[in-house]
Chains A and B, each alone.
Chain A
Amino acid sequence: MDALLAALLPILTFGTLAALVLGTGLGIVIGALPGLGSVVGLSICLPFTFGMGTVPALTLLLAVYCGSVFGGSISAILINSPGTPQAAATTLDGYPMAQRGEAGLALGYATVSSVIGGLISCAALIVAAPQLARFATRFGSVEIFALIVLALTCISAVSRGNMAKGLLMGVLGLFLALVGTDPVTGAARFTFGTQFLSGGFDLIAVVIGLFALSEAFFRVATGGARSAEVSGTRMRLPRWRDWKGRGGTLARSSVIGCLVGALPGTGAATASFISYAVAKQSSPRGDRFGTGEPDGIIAAESSNNAVTGSAMIPTLALGIPGDVVTAILLSALVVHGITPGVRLMSEHLDVVNAIFGVLILINLVMLALAFPLIRVFGKLLAIPQHLVTAGIVVFGLLGALTVRGNPLDAGVAVAFGLIGLVLRVTGFPLAPLVIGLVLGPQFEQNLRRGLLLNDGNFLAFFTDGPIAIILFACVGLAVLLPLLKPSGG
């Protein structure tokens, strides 16, 4: 009870509550509009957080994230076009239900499942993160180095395209993090004599470029997303008797979402498809999956929203972001003067408790906001896509300009926007690059400290202790397992 009060008290301010409601609403809208997605949504909202306090800033970003994951289900059900990749599995049964005239009920199942999945995920986060953080205090430089290598390997292994591309992007991200002044000796590295590069690349400018601006460029180059037409729909919550025999699917899928979400690089889309497949096998109505069976919606939506909380477990407990969204959240922490890492939970417990409380409230606010936002969904879809594209560019430039107040950061963002466009068109995954850039400084610091402690002998890392041995063994497995799979191109 004391912990709950400690979590809720910092949130109960006007600024934080306003950020919570506005962020959730905006997130649902962004998620519902096909083609934008959580990362672009967060990139657009980042500049607004620079002038805020730490807790309202994180609240806004978390609300946009959670809202967008849920929002994707609205367009998935109503127009058969998932607003976000996370909602792709929801189309399989959501749209057939809408075609049968049960769109309101399908949205009701999606909303309730999302909220319950999100709340179960919050519980997992609140229970697991402190335990993991306590365990992580045993980590020394070698263990942290091994952990970063494991995270990068996992993210690269499950990235779009092949593993070599993912690893290449991860290494590129690590390298970019080293550009600037060496923290130990003060020597300039790859600055080419410029003052601007001596501070290194700003993470937020790079993220805005790679995701927001490259999305705008991609839309222009491919003709962009087309507006669809849909009439207004009222959401109808399922009754108690509608849930009969479906509780198992809801609970199982939420747990799968929590477990998948805690693994680096996997994400909500993977979780929802795994849950959908498991539910299809285990549900007594499995033969009806794909024809408008509510169990399919429950499995997909509870699972993808269960990722939102559990993805924060490695982020808060270890300072290791599992995906681009959590990398952006970590960068927001840095902007507000908080250094992410294994000491985050002990040194900034108030912020971590606030995150716990905010995540619970977001799920409740999501339930309340779903009713009015679904009714106006038709009007949201009518927003011309070229105006959305122009908006992405302007918000992207504003975000890059305001983070350090340096106009050259806008140039960095545009350069990375064009680089991001080329990379995504040629199938190079962007997530490992960002994660590498986030983890680069920690990677170098722990590697060099570990080498100093082991007299420069890198091989000693592999026999440093049981935790390091297990982590490096996991790295080996993460590299080898994809190679053992039959090649699918």
Chain B
Amino acid sequence: MKRPGEAAVAAGLIALAALAYAASFAAGGGVNAASTDSPMRLPRILLAIWGALGLVCLIRAVVVAAPAEDASFAPGRLLPFAGLVVLIVLAIPFLGYLVAAGVGVAGLLWILGERNPVRGGAAFLLLGPGLWFLFHHVLDLRLPVLLSGGMF
């Protein structure tokens, strides 16, 4: 296999198309007896094209040699960072934006290697509570809050 990563993505996309195709029948919205028009007709056509193009990509990934890589990709560095971003997003509906993002920004800065207390503190205040205050109270773009109708 010449490009294993690309082949895995292509295979994953084909599997996703197959699942969606099956789901289109399970939903029961496929037939409109009164008309040639039906809500699932176009999605199924697109899923068929998606599957065919995915197959072409898969074959290319298996047959054609990969170009030289120009960036070192290290998923090990990414995992804690992406994991914390996911945690922030999961916490926002329960804790509100200020608490979730406030704690989260401090964690993100730490994971990214910020150890200078002054610079790190300033960045935390600006990116965490600072931006929350700007959006929530100055621009009046309401963000999720910890308590309904509460300030935070």
A residues apposed to B, CB below 8 Å: 47-48, 50-51, 162, 164-165, 167-168, 171-172, 174-175, 178, 182, 184-185, 187-190, 192, 213, 217, 220-223, 384, 386-387, 389-391, 393-395, 397-398, 401-402, 405, 407-408, 410-411, 414, 417-418, 421-423, 425-428, 444, 447-448, 451-452, 455-456, 489
Contact = CB atoms under 8 A, between A and B. Distances in A.
Main DSSP-derived SS at the A contact region = helix
B81 to A, nearest CB: 5
Main DSSP-derived SS at the B contact region = helix
Given A189-B27, A221-B73, A397 B89 contact: yes
29 contacts: A51-B140, A162-B57, A171-B49, A171-B53, A172-B13, A172-B50, A174-B46, A175-B46, A175-B50, A178-B43, A182-B29, A188-B29, A190-B43, A213-B85, A217-B82, A220-B81, A220-B82, A221-B77, A223-B74, A386-B112, A387-B119, A387-B123, A390-B108, A397-B88, A402-B142, A422-B9, A428-B6, A428-B9, A448-B37
Nearest to B16: A172
B44 to A, nearest CB: 10
A417 B97 CA distance: 19
B139 interface: yes
A390 B92 contact: no
B148 interface: no
Nearest to B39: A182
A69 B74 CA distance: 30
B55 to A, nearest CB: 9
A165 B57 contact: yes
Contacts of A387: 109, 112, 114, 119, 123
Nearest to B54: A168
B131 A398 contact: yes
Interface of B: 3, 5-6, 8-9, 13, 20, 23-24, 27, 29, 32, 36-40, 42-43, 46-47, 49-50, 53-54, 56-57, 60, 64-65, 67, 71-75, 77-78, 81-82, 85-86, 88-90, 92-93, 97, 101, 105, 108-109, 112-114, 119, 123, 127-128, 131, 135, 139-144
Contacts of A425: 5, 73
A426 B71 contact: no
Nearest to B113: A386
Nearest to A48: B139
